[in-house]
Amino acid sequence: MWGLLMESFLISLSTVAIAEMGDRTQLLALMLAARYRAPWSILAGVLLATFANHLLAAAIGVHLGRFLTPTRLDAVVGASMIGMALWTLKPDALDEDSPRADRASAFVATLIAFFIAEIGDKTQIATLALAAAYSNLLTVVAGTTAGMLLANVPVVFLGKAFAKRLPIKAIHYVASALFLALGALFIVRAIHHAT
């Protein structure tokens, strides 16, 4: 039991931390950090927005996971991880019409912007898939939220200087390879269940 909880937490954490590298929400964190220069308020907004968004996605994932056999569930999660690998190769850019709040506090601006930016984002979809696979809402949400913070804390505190020094293209290739490996792991588990 404890091993499965740790596995679901660590896979959730690493999946979202990797997916967040160069993602539009990470770029949003960079923009907010440059604009407001209030790192703790921004991180509090990231934490609450991510928690709420991923809790909703995980609840849907756990619900959907109840209707799938272990074989189908592992196959679906494996295919979604391979899809994430391909999606990771396409770097995100922050759109000009991203949510902004010039007059709002850094916390409120971050909370609203992050919640909206996470809708349909690859980290939200990964959360849904992981919750379906592990059927443990709290462990998956704790892992995905921690992964989001792990990826965004350096960006918020170090800002543009940090972002300019990262080899984003290389990070996308490594992240894609890791998602392929995770996808293959789940597909092998699906094949194992089927036999």
Q: 45-74 pLDDT, tens per residue?
A: 999 999 999 999 999 999 988 887 778 877
**What is the pTM assigned to this prediction?**
0.73
What burial class does residue 151 get, using C-beta atoms within 10 Å of its C-beta: 0-12 exposed, 13-18 middle, 19+ buried? buried
| pLDDT of res. 95 | 45
Instruction: Name the pLDDT band for 103 (thresholds 50, 70, 90).
Output: very low
Residue 131 near residue 59, CB atoms below 8 Å: yes
Q: Which of 50-59, 95-104, 106-115, 162-171 comes out lowest in average pLDDT?
A: 95-104
Residue 94 CB coordination number (10 Å) = 15
d(CA 49, CA 119): 11
pLDDT above 90 for 16: yes
Mean pLDDT of the chain: 83
Q: Which two structure tokens, joined as six digits, stand for 158?
A: 């170090």
Helix (H, G, I), strand (E, B) or coil at 94: coil
| pLDDT of res. 160 | 59
The mean per-residue pLDDT over the stretch 28-41 comes to 84
| pLDDT of res. 58 | 94
Which of 114, 117, 116, 113 minimizes the C-alpha distance to 100? Answer: 113
Q: Which of 22-31, 41-50, 77-86, 176-185 comes out lowest in average pLDDT?
A: 77-86
| pLDDT of res. 96 | 43
